[in-house]
Amino acid sequence: MTTPTTAKIDKLLADHKIMVFMKGNKLMPQCGFSNQVVQILNILGVPYETLDVLADPEIRQGIKEYSNWPTIPQVYIDGEFVGGSDVLTELYQKGELQQKVEVALAS
């Protein structure tokens, strides 16, 4: 991964408490897993930002190296990698995602 790609990812994570690297965007998810993440975050009613990895091949590959996680979408809360749609769904169902989000937004 190139230094500019790492710097771009670092800046996105610093600028947004909840950041989702996904296929498509929050208005038009381009895969079911990305859509699931968007639906969960919309239900929580929290502010979040998305980046369409389909429009940025360097980020698409770079984010996988950055997190050491092979799949998209990837969710970061307060700069920390949380996981993909399966992990987010599990945390939501357990009630742990709401707590994680509240703590991040309060800081």
Residue 39 burial by CB count (10 A; 0-12/13-18/19+): exposed, middle or buried? middle
Q: Cα separation of 30 and 84, whole Å?
A: 15
Supply angle C-alpha 87, 89, 94, rounded to 5.
95
Q: Cα separation of 66 and 83, whole Å?
A: 12
What parts of the chain have a pLDDT lower than 50?
none
Q: Where are the domains of the chain?
A: 3-106
- Does 3-106 carry CATH code 3.40.30.10? yes
